[in-house]
Structure 1
Amino acid sequence: MALAAGSTTRLWTLVAREFWRKTRRRLRAGPIYRWRYSGRTPERVLIAPPDLRLADPQIALEIYYGRYPLSGHMVETGGKSPFQIDVPNRGWQKSLHGFRWLRHMRAAGTDLAAANARALVSDWIAMHSNQIAGVAWEPGTTAKRVIAWLQHSSVVLQGAEFPFYRAFLKSLAMQIRYLRSMAREMPDGKDRLRARIALAFAALSLPAAPSTLRSATRNLAEELDHQILPDGGHISRNPISVLELLADLLPLRQTYANQAETPPPALINAIDRMLPALRFFRHQDGSLARFNGMGATIHDRIATILRHDDTVGSPLLHAPHSGYERLSMGGVTVIADTGPPPPVDVSNAAHAGCLAFELSSGRQHFIVNAGIDTYGDAEFRPLARATAAHSTATINDTSSARFSHSLRVSDLLGSPLIGGPQHVPCTRIDQKGVHGFVARHDGYAARFGLLHERELTLTDNGNLLAGRDRFQRPGGGALRDNGRDFVTVRFHIHPDISLLQDEHDRLTLAAAQGDSWTFTCAEVLPQIEESIYFAGLGGPRRSRQIVLAFKASEIAEVHWQLTRTDIAGRLENN
């Protein structure tokens, strides 16, 4: 797809900036700078911060037998150290060098698990501690490793002899100095925030001068103020970022308290905003809405984090800074994307899903977005990010935002979203018995001269979701039949939902032993087509979608309804 001139200029500005950053990072990792990472070795670890991530003793046993289930892939090492083998899966390598799997050894609670943890850390120190290169020393991975080594230092150092104890602390101190130097060169996003979190953990957990803690706290506060939005969302607009960052920020807050240090107000305020934001993105079954990089949800992870949420009321309904709306009534939840794309720097996971929505009824999901296969092949990511993979409208089978797939760019930036809606005005509707919104985006204005406006209203105690999709010219006026006004409105159906069409062309969506809904449209005959649901726990699944296809010059506005006809097997009489 050809890029607009403005998008191209912005893209190459980013490329130049990231190239310069990468050059500076290489210099800091080279022999000229390396002497700066040497220095005094701490005498001990003062405190091991808590870890809220789920742990499984069975995984510790798998690792003991040389089987490493990391990042959705199982690798058997055949008796070798995992740091000696070449595994082509980059996600697996990053997980290995991030050392978060140490929590499984802690959960096992045995001397054998502690000895295995110590042996693996010793292997890493021997093979990578003095060679700053590769995945192991990427700043984001280093930040995860520093946090993990501190959190599980009691397990790693259990029964350790003095030479290993000294080598562990020496390597840890070197990594902290390296991370402190690299943090300022990291691109915007959660990895840079995690680096600041790691440095704050280090300043609290190891003997350090008061100025070190003050500096780490100040830098952390600045990064939190920059990346955490006023409504608690993250600047990437990805719901999973909120969950992942809370898993680090909550233990950090506790570590400040355990060390009798005052946490920065920015940390307290960020957590207080993020916990309600996490609940905002939850459906009633506990899973997060599939927007902007969100895939399958592990429900226990969210439950563990939300145990720290003291605000037990109803979730927020309006997240204007993150660009989302939530409608909730009678056991029905609708979550919609009503915001522009995130900043280009943090858009590698962003999707072209403006005005898409998801609907759940009870604990069943009915209307969904395709989501992503978190650990699957990268070749499917462009499909999952396209507008057609979302429950919204496309024009001329084109996405409402553009992505860079240039091989020259991907090595530096990945695949950022470099074009899309610039203005997405949204008006909330909250009246007695009515929750809704009206939003409009201009993602198709430059190419096709069309705006897409969507209105959703949830009424009748959640039994009726009424939708209106309208297409208009930016300046008003009649739509022209120019062959560039083909509209497709999609409603992706969750794979667990059966979809039937009766003789009156009404579509029935039914969950096994759950609710049932009917879909109708006044202006266009709905069609059923094949689809794919990427966000399954076991990988992509076949699914179906409801499609409304028409020309905007002939039908500028369509009205459709989803009506709940059965609640958990009990027929609704109204």
Structure 2
Amino acid sequence: MMSAEYAKSGSQPRRSAEEDAELWARFTGKAGEEATASPIHRLKIAGSAPDGFGLYPRPAAPPDELRGESLMRDIWRIGMAKVEMPGGRPPWSEPLPSRHFTDRVHRFDWLGDLFTQGDAGADRARYLVDDWIENFGRFNGFAWRAGCTADRVWNWMLCGPGLFEHGPEEAVQHRLEVFGRQVRHVDALHEDCSEPAARWRIAAVMAAHAICVRRGKGLDEAFERLDNECTAQILPDGGHVSRSPARGLRTMLDLCVLKDLTERSERPVPEFMLRWIERLGGMIGFFRAGDGALPPFNDSQESLPETVDAALSRLQAPPRRFTVAPKSGFHKLQKGETCLILDAGNAPEEPFGDGAHAGALGFELHDAEARLITSCGYSPEVDIDWQAAVRRTGAHSTLIIANEDSAPFRRNEDTGLVFPVGPEGISAKRLEEADEIWLDAQHGGYKKTFGLLHRRRLFMSGDGRRLTGEDSLARPVSQGTADSDRTIPYVVRFHLHPTVTATMGDTAIRLESESGSVWRFKTSHEAARLEKTIYLARGIVEQSWQIVLSGRANPDSDGSTPPNAVRWAFLKDRPA
């Protein structure tokens, strides 16, 4: 993985414009292609400015005041890249570090953060919107891509009172005109859009627009479109079909905005909206870690705890507690202050797997508010090549054979992106007895290539102070005898959270969490070592460590003994 290179250098390499364009095209697919506007399309999006808003949507999530303060200091930061714009100049007034950076700027996710900075922040926000309109308001192939435009329109609507109720009448009218053009643009693109996140946000925009601007006209059609997207993108247990906790959170927050808007317009809230909010809330409660944030499964990051709290506060009652999410494919083991969540589900089908990871049987392990074991994580803020690298199996706390992914990646011809397939035969069984939990999981992702099944067995003690595990590789009887007796290399990885301090000892690896609690990692395996790795889920590329157990498997083993069986344990020495 290129993470090792970063861990040594500690900095992000510079790229030429040509290299950046090539990376952007490779990792964003058709969603990254510039929008085009035929004469017919231009006629569709032409029209007069809306009369104004009868009602404004209200944000369901709190703004990021720290980012607002940074923007007022003229600092624009996306992932590892930082741009300073003295005098409050717009970021698009000069070349930006990458297309990824430019994309994040054009989505205006930062707009609400500026409005937290008093009158000066509101003036700066309006100035930047007006300057954007001056430069991009008619049309721009990059800035007017479907997903980028839908996000920008949504963010403008959430800041509507500050944008459309203040300033010279001519400026307000100009903002309304460009707002209306963008709404018509995404509405025309929705039917042919293959990007799930863009389809969702367009449906949300059109429902809000029908209430706020059209005074209810077209609302039935907008709600029908939203209902269809809910059915397509939310699983019956409340998980997002992408298997990303952060996407589920974003979906719930959008529905909460629309529910509040519908109620304030004195209209009945559709039953489907209430049902899906409750189910999404249940899964967010399932995933919520002791520190209040979410785990970085698939293309998910550590969302701000305040955002998670804001979503859960919208529920009529606290979310019900459960330990198995069968449709989403996650199992939860929790005793005392120790919590483990295991990924035991198939990768989503296309196009919903375009951001999914090949992390079968990987897990998150937390001790109260402290995170111990994780993956390399993910963040939409870090550059796209990093996002792609951490999708591989080696970036997860699981077993990998010969550096091959447990779920091979295939190309989606409709989106131009790759998605993981499988793995075959993934399953998990649990047994709870005498306050103790056993979990027995396996997958056949390596059966076709190497003739081996990966089995992971976990045991958590009743007080949560002991987690023992075994990773084994077994040849199914149905495979017959292997053609060769050549051994097969494998590695078991446990990625440590950046807040964990790891120290090699003679008989164990000492792990100290940020809360001060101390754990020991022990194994009967002879080749345990610590190696550098990276972590993305806090919005930057951070250095961290991983525990690595490597070996060579017998191709004809039943998996009951070494070298095909690796036993290990996490033992809590003392509380914080």
TM band (smaller chain): 0.7 to 0.9
| Equivalence for 1:134 | 141
After superposition, the Cα gap between the structure-2 partners of 1:307 and 1:165, relative to the gap in structure 1 and judged at 3 Å, is same
Residue 561 of structure 1 deviates from its aligned partner by 4.3
Which whole-Å CA distance do the structure 1 matches of 2:575 and 2:32 have between them?
56
Secondary structure in structure 2 of the residue aligned to 1:121: helix
What SS class does the counterpart of residue 117 from structure 1 fall into?
helix
**Aligned twin of 1:86:** 95
Contact 2:393 2:404 in 1 (8 A): yes
**1:439 match:** 441
Residue 337 (structure 2) pairs with residue 334 (structure 1): no
Counterparts of 2:43 and 2:365 in 1: how far apart (Å)?
Answer: 56
Q: Is the 8 A contact 2:349 2:421 kept in 1?
A: no
**Partner residue of 2:18?**
none
Which SS does the other structure have where 1:118 is aligned? helix
SS of structure 1 residue aligned to 2:390: helix
In structure 2, do the counterparts of structure 1 residues 157 and 378 end up closer, same or farther at CA, with 3 Å as the change threshold? Answer: closer
Deviation at 1:564, TM superposition (A): 3.0
Which SS does the other structure have where 2:463 is aligned? helix
Residue 324 of structure 1 aligns to which amino acid in structure 2?
F
C-alpha distance 94-378 of structure 1, shift in aligned 2 (>3 A) = closer
Among candidates 236, 248, 253, match of residue 259 of structure 2: 253
Distance 2:286 2:63 in 1: 26
SS at match of 1:147: helix
The 8 Å contact of residues 59 and 257 in structure 2, kept in 1 or not, is answered as yes
- 1:330 positional shift: 0.9
Task: Say which of 486, 489, 501 aligns to 1:486.
Answer: 489
1:171 deviates by 1.6
Number of residue pairs matched by the alignment: 541
TM (norm. structure 2) is 0.85
Q: Which deviates the most, 82-91 or 173-182? A: 82-91
Q: Distance in 1 between matches of 2:505 and 2:510?
A: 8
Distance (Å, rounded) in 2 between the aligned partners of 1:526 and 1:282: 34
Cα deviation, 1:51-76, whole Å, max 9, x if unaligned, reads 13332556546545644345664323
Q: 1:308 and 2:314 equivalent?
A: yes
Residue 190 of structure 2 aligns with which residue? Answer: 183
Q: Does 1:48 align with 2:28?
A: no
Q: Which residue, 358, 374, 396 being the options, matches 1:368? A: 374
C-alpha distance in structure 2 between counterparts of 1:509 and 1:76, whole Å: 39
What is the alpha-carbon distance in structure 2 between the residues aligned to residue 434 and residue 530 of structure 1?
A: 32
Amino acid in the other structure paired with 2:205: A
Residues 116/313 of structure 1: CA separation in 2 closer, same or farther (3 Å cut): closer
TM-score by length of 1: 0.86
Letter in 1 for 2:530: E
Cα gap change, 1:494 to 1:166, in 2 (>3 Å): closer
Question: In the TM superposition, what is the alpha-carbon distance from 1:464 to its structure 2 partner?
Answer: 2.3
Q: Which residue of 1 aligns with 2:365?
A: 359
SS at match of 2:210: helix
Equivalent positions of 1:190-269 (< 5 A) are 190-208=197-215, 210=217, 212-269=218-275
Secondary structure (helix, strand or coil) at the match of 1:287 reads coil
Q: What are the Cα deviations for residues 440-463 of structure 1, in whole angstroms up to 9, with x where unaligned?
A: 212111211111122222223212
Secondary structure in 2 aligned to 1:350? coil
Give the residue type in structure 1 aligned to 2:250: E
Alignment of 1:460 onto 2:467: no
Q: Deviations over 1:273-319 (max 9, x none)?
A: 11121122222122322221233443332223222234436643111
> In the alignment, residue 530 of structure 1 is paired with which amino acid?
E
Cα distance in 2 for residues equivalent to 1:40 and 1:148: 21
* Whole-angstrom CA distance in 2 between matches of 1:61 and 1:563: 41
**Over aligned residue pairs, what C-alpha RMSD do you find?**
2.9
Q: Deviations over 1:330-384 (max 9, x none)?
A: 1110011101111131223221110111211222222221213543343334442
Please say if 1:542 is aligned against 2:544. yes
Q: 1:422 aligns with which of 416, 421, 424?
A: 424
Q: Which moved more, 1:196-205 or 1:471-480?
A: 471-480
Relative distance call for 1:264 and 1:428 in structure 2 (3 A) is: farther
2:45 matches 1:37 = yes
Deviation at 1:516, TM superposition (A): 2.9
In the superposition, relative to structure 1, how do residues 157 and 398 fare at CA in structure 2: closer, same or farther (>3 Å)? same
C-alpha contact (below 8 Å) 1:345/1:416 kept by paired residues: no
* Cα 1:555–1:541 shift into 2, 3 Å: farther
1:319 aligns with 2:325: yes
SS, match of residue 340 in structure 2: strand
**Which residue in the other structure is 1:108 paired with?**
117
Partner-residue secondary structure (3-state), 1:75: strand
Amino acid at match of 2:47: G
Matched, 1:449 2:456: no
Give the structure 2 partner of residue 9 of structure 1: none
Q: CA deviation at 1:265?
A: 1.9
Aligned-partner residue type, residue 205 of structure 1: C
Q: Partners in 2 of 1:226 and 1:280 — Cα distance?
A: 21
Distance 1:253 1:191, change over 3 A: same
With over 3 angstroms needed to count, the CA separation of the structure-2 counterparts of 1:260 and 1:552, relative to structure 1, is: farther
Q: Which runs of 5+ in 1 are unaligned?
A: 1-14, 570-574
Q: How big is the shift at 1:501? A: 4.9
Q: Report which structure shows greater RCO (CA 8 Å, sep ≥6).
A: 2
Q: Cα gap change, 1:220/1:500 in structure 2, threshold over 3 Å: closer, same or farther?
A: same
Quick one: structure 1 residues 484 and 379, their matched pair in 2 at CA, closer, same or farther if it must change by over 3 Å? farther
Residue in 2 that maps onto 1:4:
none
Give the counterpart letter for 2:91 in structure 1: P
2: CA distance, partners of 1:54 / 1:73:
24
1:168 paired with 2:169, answer no
Once the two structures are superposed, residues 162-182 of structure 1 have per-residue CA deviations (whole angstroms, 9 ceiling, x without a partner) of: 222222222222211111111
- Residue 225 of structure 1 aligns to a residue whose secondary structure is helix
Q: Does 1:150 align with 2:157?
A: yes
Range moving further from structure 2, 485-494 or 389-398: 485-494
Q: 1:567 to 1:282 in 2, by over 3 A?
A: farther
Q: Cα 1:441–1:472, aligned 2, differ >3 Å: closer, same or farther?
A: same
* Aligned equivalents of 2:316, 2:521: Cα separation in 1: 39
1:179-212 Cα distance to aligned partner (Å, 9 max, x none): 11111111142221111011111111113453x1
Mapped contact 1:517–1:562 kept (Cα < 8 A): no
Q: Is the 8 A contact 2:35 2:145 kept in 1?
A: no
**For the Cα contact (< 8 Å) 2:75–2:85, is it kept in 1?**
yes
Summarize the Cα distance change of 1:114–1:446 in structure 2 as closer, same or farther, 3 Å threshold.
Answer: same
Structure 2 CA distance for partners of 1:549 and 1:197, relative to 1, 3 Å:
same
Note if 1:76 corresponds to 2:84: yes
Residues 56 and 485 of structure 1: CA distance in aligned 2, closer, same or farther (over 3 Å)? closer
Residue identity matched to 1:105? L
Pick closer, same or farther for the CA change 1:389–1:90 going to 2, 3 Å.
Answer: same
Find the aligned partners of 1:242 and 1:76 in 2 and give their Cα distance. Answer: 33
Instruction: Note the C-alpha offset of 1:478.
Output: 6.8
